[in-house]
């Protein structure tokens, strides 16, 4: 038992720095998730800080924290258990443009809200969106950060050699060594949109040379069209020939590619592309 309240169940996921378990909140007779961190990463401590900050500001499309402390000498976080992930959802049905647009509008609402409170997520991927009672939730704030400093000023765009987030969903600007900003969360959502709609055919390999490639323009194949044309031109063109017009997502990405580092996204305009 954890804190004399939460029973520990089966393992859900294991990684290099920790484990996620399913558990049970005995008093309320409801399932919970348990994250246990190994080593000295302090990722859970940071995640708790970010989620508590957002929750106190009224953000609700994120997990609720039940308890945080030490369990068997390791940092431990007890939080909301979700029925399924976005990955499960898209695997269980045909993802039409209409259905994908509806998901994108919900995602844009979530990110408009967290950006309102100066937070960047920085690790957008299908596995970090969960579903409960038909609603979408954003999880895993271990890489989240503020885009303003203690004086309320936007952080400067300093060059970096390290890539933050999941490479195949990270913004092209991040691959080019730019500091992460709001535009990069939005670009990653565009890549996620294409993944949801077009599936794994776009992602079964990823170019090591992407960081040195020129900033791509958007075409009907993919925002990273240089890579697509070089490696999968025939496959992607055949796949897209069965789809309706994708100009809306291309216009969305073009809009975001042209946005300056410190600019605030025009969320209403971005949502318009998917209505």
Catalytic, 123? Answer: yes
Distances (CA, A) of 71 to 64, 163, 260: 19, 32, 45
- Asked if 257 and 187 count as a contact pair (C-beta separation under 8 A), the reply is yes
Distance, CA of 275 to CA of 175 (rounded, Å): 30
Decide: helix, strand or coil at residue 162. Answer: coil
Q: Which of 88, 123, 161, 200 is labelled catalytic? A: 123
Exposed e or buried b per residue across 19-53, where buried means at least 16 C-beta atoms within 10 angstroms of its C-beta:
ebbebbbeeeeeebbbbbbeeeeebbeebbebbeb
Rounded-to-10 torsion of CA 177, 181, 185, 190: -70
Residue 51, classed as helix, strand or coil, is helix
Q: Which residues are catalytic?
A: 123
């Amino acid at each position: 038992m954890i804190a004399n309240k939460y029973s520990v169940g089966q393992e859900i996921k294991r990684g290099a720095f920790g484990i996620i378990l399913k558990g049970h909140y005995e008093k309320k007779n409801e399932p919970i998730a348990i994250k246990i961190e190994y080593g000295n990463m302090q990722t859970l401590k940071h995640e708790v800080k970010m989620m508590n900050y957002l929750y106190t500001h009224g953000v609700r499309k994120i997990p609720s924290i039940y308890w945080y402390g030490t369990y068997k000498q390791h940092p431990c976080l007890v939080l909301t258990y979700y029925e399924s992930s976005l990955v499960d959802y898209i695997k269980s049905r045909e993802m039409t443009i209409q259905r994908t647009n509806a998901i994108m509008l919900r995602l844009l609402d979530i990110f408009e809200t967290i950006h309102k409170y100066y937070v960047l997520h920085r690790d957008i991927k299908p596995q970090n969106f969960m579903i409960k009672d038909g609603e979408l939730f954003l999880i895993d704030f271990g890489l989240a950060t503020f885009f303003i400093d203690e004086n309320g000023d936007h952080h400067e765009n300093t060059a970096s050699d390290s890539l933050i987030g999941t490479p195949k969903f990270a913004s092209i600007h991040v691959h080019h060594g730019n500091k992460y900003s709001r535009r990069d969360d939005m670009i990653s959502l565009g890549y996620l949109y294409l993944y949801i709609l077009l599936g794994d055919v776009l992602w079964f390999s990823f170019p090591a040379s992407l960081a040195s490639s020129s900033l791509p323009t958007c075409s009907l194949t993919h925002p990273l069209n240089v890579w697509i044309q070089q490696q999968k031109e025939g496959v992607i063109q055949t796949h897209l020939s069965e789809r309706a017009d994708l100009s809306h997502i291309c216009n969305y990405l073009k809009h975001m590619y042209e946005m300056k580092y410190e600019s605030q996204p025009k969320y209403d305009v971005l949502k318009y592309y998917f209505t």
